[in-house]
Amino acid sequence: MAAPSCIFCKIIRQEIPSAIIKENQAAIAIKDISPRAPVHYLIIPKIHIESVAHMSDTEATVAAQMLILARDIAADAGIVGFNLITNNGASAGQSVMHMHVHFLAGKDIYEHGLSL
């Protein structure tokens, strides 16, 4: 179900312009408006899901399509190393309450001591 006031739903409905990189049946990838890496895309499901925590078992097929889209974007661009980050909940840095994955490349996100 689309959410009328959700900024990412508006982008998907093309009511707000965005730089579309690639899409598949379930997800769209756009350039982040405020890039924090040389390559910074957002992979966004076409249906409104608030966050991973709100995703139903059925909607998990959408998550698979999001990863497939990330794989295909990397393959298209010859990107070998990339990071996929999903902020889940305001306390974890999520600012747009429509689930998305940050696709980051060309930056060492571990340079300041973060280790996973």
Stretch (H or E) spanning 77:
helix 60-77
105 binds ligand 5GP (CB under 6 A): no
52 binds ligand 5GP (CB under 6 A): no
- CA neighbor of 37 nearest in space, from 89, 100, 103, 88: 103
Contact indicator for 44, 98 with CB cutoff of 8 Å:
yes
18 binds ligand 5GP (CB under 6 A): yes
91 binds ligand 5GP (CB under 6 A): no
Q: How far is the CB of 64 from ligand 5GP (least distance, A)?
A: 20
Which stretches of the chain bind Zn ion, using CB under 5 A? 3, 6, 8-9, 48, 98
